[in-house]
Amino acid sequence: MRQLADIPHPDVKITLFSWNGKYLIKLEKGQLEQTYKVSEMDVTSEADVRQLLDAEFVAAAVQRFAQMRQDLQAAFDRHEL
């Protein structure tokens, strides 16, 4: 796996990788992460992948992190951990 870029963002850490014919978009916030795989056949360049990371996409990912955190906490609570 080759790291292509760290993409600055104030709310999440975004890293772009190239691996096995795919671009991997990794978003991290605290202990949680989301990874999106985009086939190199679906885009023409790294610039196209960066274009996908518009404000709407990142805002949805940030909201998803909040839901993921709630889901994890609910599991801890259910099992009294």
Residue spans per domain, the chain: 2-78
DSSP states of 19-73: ETTEEEEEEEETTEEEEEEEETTT-SSHHHHHHH--HHHHHHHHHHHHHHHHHHH
- pTM of the predicted protein model: 0.92
pLDDT digits (tens, 9 = 90+) for 40-68: 999 999 999 999 999 999 999 999 999 99
